[in-house]
Structure 1
Amino acid sequence: MGSTNGTIVAGGNGAGLGLNQFRWPTYLFVDANQNVYVSDKVNNRVMKWSIGAQEGIVVAGGRAMTKMSTPRGLFVDASGTLYVVDAGNQRVLRWLEGAKQGSVIVDGNGIGNQQNQLNSPMGLAFDRQGNMYVVDSFNHRVQQFSIE
């Protein structure tokens, strides 16, 4: 049988803006080195927590208007590139490791139900061929995108 008590590996210091806090963490991804990436919805950021860290580091986003709005699903590839659903802006962003700004790889072109639009995107995943799948929640569908 498994353990009945969990171990806090990120956050746990109440809600807030501090590097040891979240405000509504929503999605997570654990890489091969056991780094934990968490989308921090209200703080509009993605944080990375290394094993044993007392604080995380902001690897994407922030509260400035030019940044993300309501990050959701995320994925980190073997090269450390972060892909994150920017739900509030109806798009998907790619952040190269160490980058100060992300690039738009799927632009929702405004809220809508056309194939070039998203409406409340949530999660994402990749297949072995490198195709990206995005959960397009309010359109009740999953869309596939070829990413270069």
Structure 2
Amino acid sequence: ICDWGNRRVVRWPRQIGRNGETIISDIDCQHLTMDKNGDLYVSDCVKNEVRRWKQEEREGTIVAGGNGQGNNLNQLHWPTYIFVDEDYSIYVSDCLNHRVMKWMKGAKEGIVVAGGNGKGYGSTELSYPYGVIVDHLGNVYVADSNNDRIMRWCKESCKGSVVVGGNGNGKGQQPKQLNYPKGLSFDVEGNLYVVDCGNHRIQKFDIDLD
């Protein structure tokens, strides 16, 4: 669990009645995920980096950012949500740069896979991205939070398309409307789940993955 207010990552056992333990401290953690080997990845929004911790490792290894705050390809500015694919590439919502970066395994810099053209509402822009997830085709889905929409960038495309929200009515509480969405997840049937943060709900959408 990213216990952001206490600047730590906490692990809780599944057994009822047992206490959690701090496994990483002194970290301004925004999001965490695991790869298929069980290695833990955590974004630090103040140090502007993502680190990977192998099991029982204490310091972790920088796998994205770590070169100070900025908008160069080897930098991040307030990284939030992260996703790791089957090839161990790391996708980072680079929130205050209004872009999503992909860092391949062992890379010294990332590539822009969504946004990166400043804050905005156009098909090549994002505004404070949070949740990010990648489907089996390599398409990138982004919770474009301040635009109240979910965007999809097809693999190697220079612009995105709206798949949820952004219907011209702005944010709202109606079905297919969103209010500052954050987390994203797919189920085994390809349904998209969206943490509709401002509406205090989770919405499920049937979208065309192909």
TM-score by length of 2: 0.68
Moved beyond 6 Å, runs of 4+:
none
Aligned residues: percent identity? Answer: 55
SS at match of 2:65: coil
Alignment of 1:95 onto 2:153: yes
Structure 1, unmatched stretches of 5+, are none
User: What RMSD over aligned residues (CA atoms) do the two structures have, in Å?
Assistant: 1.1
Q: Distance in 1 between matches of 2:154 and 2:139?
A: 5
Structure 1, 29-38 or 60-69: larger mean CA deviation: 60-69
Q: Deviations over 1:90-129 (max 9, x none)?
A: 0001111100001100024311111131111001101111
Alignment of 1:146 onto 2:209: no
Which amino acid in structure 2 is aligned with residue 10 of structure 1? A
TM-score by length of 1: 0.96
Structure 1, 16-25 or 58-67: larger mean CA deviation: 58-67
The structure 1 residue matched to 2:137, chosen from 75, 79, 95, is 79
Aligned residues: 148
The corresponding residue for 2:173 is 113
Alignment of 1:62 onto 2:120: no
Larger of the two Rg values belongs to structure: 2
Q: Deviations over 1:1-46 (max 9, x none)?
A: 6011110000000100110111100000000000000000000000
Which amino acid in structure 2 is aligned with residue 3 of structure 1? E
Q: Distance in 1 between matches of 2:106 and 2:136?
A: 21
SS at match of 1:138: helix
Shift of 1:130: 0.7
Shift of 1:86: 0.5
The corresponding residue for 1:132 is 192
Shift of 1:77: 1.2
Shift of 1:63: 3.1
Which structure has more relative contact order (CA 8 Å, sep 6+)? It is 1
Alignment of 1:25 onto 2:79: yes
Q: Deviations over 1:59-85 (max 9, x none)?
A: 110133321111110111121111111
